[in-house]
Structure 1
Amino acid sequence: MKRRLALGISVLALGWFGGDAAAWTAPYQRTQVRPAAIPAPTPPPSPFEYAAGLLRDSMPTMPSAPVTTVVQPAAGAVAVAPTTVFAADRPERAVASSAIQPVQYIVPSPTASAGGPPQVIVTNPVNGTVVGPTVAATGCPCVIDECCASTGVWSVDAGLYLLQPLWNNNPAYSFRSVAGEIDSREQKDFTHSLQAGPVISVAYVSACGLGGRLHYWQLDADAETGITNNGNLQISSAFSLGLGLSDAAAGELDARWSFQSELRIRVLDAEATQTLTWDCYTFVLAAGVRYAQVNQTYDANLQPPGDEDPLHLSSSHRFRGVGPTLAATARRPIGCSGLGLYAAGRGSLLYGRDRQKALQIIPGIPADDITQAELTQDDFLPIFEIETGLQYATCWNTTNVFFQLGFVGQSWLGVGNAANSDALLGFANDNDQANL
């Protein structure tokens, strides 16, 4: 019977983006505006209009209408310079000459008091002539803007998972109290503390949002416990493949028991990703392949009173599997401070081989009694994950740096417990789920 492993996770991550930072990678500080087409100038054109027209005509045609970014004002008119020469069918970012420096103004619209968007006006700073159309700013007031190049973006993030493995049933030993007329039974499980595990991801996103990602994390967790017989107990270890240890009889005073457990998890995801934006939200969808390796060990030692040799039981089981994985991440800024919320979910279904071994050693004369058992079987391992938290992003030089702090929950169905055993007592919770 398999067990379920569960992890309760808090995650701290630090990352950076270099090269081209697409709209979802840079700090939360700007507004996207889609300008209207510039009306044809009426003759005779002013020198400024003439120069702007030459500049626009010299630029290549783009397949779709561009997007211009402008700073969102708190109140009143705010000037931003240098600026962009608006053109619906031209590249959005034009380099103005040193002699002609148009200034981009943002003023509240007449509907601003009712929650309406601001308006964008492009003017000549010398005489105040309006040289660009007035357009309303639409969409999210503070999206993640670009601060790098314009071809694609590489990203690397590294951090720590603080994980506490939790099993509904992970027995270390059980005991029966036989003092007087009281007959009670109890099972003791291994208890794991929070353990730190490294996390690292490397990703690339093209200008159209299509990309790829490699994501790796691991966890090493150990636990141990023990008990000394007070003379009124019958103590038994967990049983693995039918092998186990037990006190010969109640009342074996000062017999010392010790139990150890180890857990090792290694996970690697290789995925294709697609980044999408809608209003203030950024979504990253991913599909790919996951490889996982889970190793667990169980050791029990019984030291009888005196100088007798100890009794020993050891068990190990290992699962290695590969299978499809699907993931989705959503991000949303909080105002224009750089803070944001994020949430992610993932589901994986692995197919692989589970191999278990057990060894029991009972000292004896003239030779020790050694018994071994082994079992190999193919199995499916479903995994479900969810994560949510806060993110802070900022632009440093030509690199976008972000910090994340959140909580994660994972459920591994069928991964087993330390001894890969059933509950030692009939009333114990006996299922095949564990959580991280």
Structure 2
Amino acid sequence: MKRRVALALGLLSSLLWLGVAAADEPKAAPAPAPSTAPAPIVIKDANASPMTIYGGACDSCQPSCGGGGGLQAGIGFYYIQPHFETNPAYTVSREAPDGTTQIRQSDFDYDYEFAPIIWVGFSNCDGLGVRARYWWYDNNASTVIVNDGTVTLDSAAPLGLQNTSSGTGDLLLSATDLQIKVWDLEVTQAAKVWGWDLLLAGGLRYAHISQSYVHVELPTLGNTLVDAISSGHNFKGIGPSAAAELRRDLGIGLTLYGAARASILFG
């Protein structure tokens, strides 16, 4: 009996020792949670449009970068009305009641006329390129007057020669023709500035300007003598030229466009 009690007590003490040992065994520390860096604060302005020049951070030949390299060509027109400080067709002289002579000059009056323009150019992906332009203009004006016998009509005198009419019923025709031809050869640089497409150009301009003058007097009936004057002059010049063009896409199939050019010609 005593042996059984002793054996039971020994077995119980062994179990208690195992339980204590199991309780005292250290546990593995939990793995630390991965640290997360705070996201950077980004402030955006939806209305801001930074200035970008072709050849920026990305390959500007890509469509997403607005690349414009390659061959370009186009056609257009100007709508021009020439103005002169003086461009006489004829002069009218009459004697006033007080005995003085009154002289009035009548100038040619040009209408508006279209002037076609064509251009072709090439630029690389950085917007640097070359361009050739050509435009021409042809306009004329004329006037007809009949002498009523109370005035004296004088033609212009472009060559120092002048026709005079003082007869009643004389018919006088004066006409002029103006022609302009302009060639431009220039270097261009394209850029994008705050949503606008800017093009700067500089180079040489060559121009040919010619103007003619014709005056014909048809005398009264019975007089077969016809008086006529014909003359003309030309100007050919070359010199530096600079230009700036600005475009803005309005997003509705329309583009806002403006241009300015200055040239100095020597000839």
- Coarse TM-score class (shorter-chain normalised): 0.7 to 0.9
Structure 1 residues 337, 178: CA separation in 2 closer, same or farther (over 3 Å shift)?
same
Structure 1 residues 233, 207: CA separation in 2 closer, same or farther (over 3 Å shift)?
same
Structure 1 residues 310, 351: CA separation in 2 closer, same or farther (over 3 Å shift)?
same
Partner residue of 1:263? Answer: 178
Instruction: Please state whether the residue corresponding to 2:178 is helix, strand or coil.
Output: strand
State how many pairs are aligned: 216
What does 1:252-401 correspond to in 2, within 5 Å? Answer: 252-305=167-220, 306-334=222-250, 336-352=251-267
Q: Which of structures 1 and 2 has the larger relative contact order (alpha carbons within 8 angstroms, sep 6+)?
A: 1
* Conserved? CA contact 1:111–1:117, under 8 Å: no
Which consecutive unaligned segments of at least 5 residues does structure 2 have?
1-40, 52-61
CA drift at 1:333: 3.5
Q: Name the CA distance, whole Å, in 2 between partners of 1:346 and 1:235.
A: 41
CA drift at 1:188: 0.7
CA RMSD, Structure 1 to Structure 2 (Å): 2.8
Structure 1 residues 345, 151: CA separation in 2 closer, same or farther (over 3 Å shift)?
closer
Structure 1 residues 206, 173: CA separation in 2 closer, same or farther (over 3 Å shift)?
same
Superposition TM-score, scaled by structure 1 size? 0.45
| 2:79 alignment partner, one of 154, 162, 171 | 162
Instruction: Please state whether the residue corresponding to 1:239 is helix, strand or coil.
Output: coil
Structure 1 residues 309, 221: CA separation in 2 closer, same or farther (over 3 Å shift)?
same
Q: Name the CA distance, whole Å, in 1 between partners of 2:86 and 2:68.
A: 52
Q: Which has the larger radius of gyration?
A: 2
| 1:139 alignment partner, one of 23, 47, 50 | 50
Q: What letter is aligned with 2:106?
A: K
* Conserved? CA contact 2:76–2:117, under 8 Å: yes
What does 1:228-267 correspond to in 2, within 5 Å? Answer: 228-247=146-165, 250=166, 252-267=167-182
* Conserved? CA contact 2:49–2:195, under 8 Å: no
Partner residue of 1:54? Answer: none
CA drift at 1:179: 6.7
Q: Name the CA distance, whole Å, in 1 between partners of 2:46 and 2:259.
A: 31
CA drift at 1:168: 2.5
| 1:188 alignment partner, one of 83, 103, 106 | 106
Superposition TM-score, scaled by structure 2 size? 0.72
Q: What letter is aligned with 1:139?
A: P
What does 1:75-94 correspond to in 2, within 5 Å? Answer: none
CA drift at 1:205: 1.5
Identity of aligned residues (%): 33
Q: What letter is aligned with 1:326?
A: A
Q: What letter is aligned with 1:189?
A: D
* Conserved? CA contact 2:212–2:232, under 8 Å: yes
Which consecutive unaligned segments of at least 5 residues does structure 1 have?
1-108, 119-136, 353-436
Q: Name the CA distance, whole Å, in 2 between partners of 1:288 and 1:296.
A: 27
| 2:124 alignment partner, one of 187, 198, 206 | 206
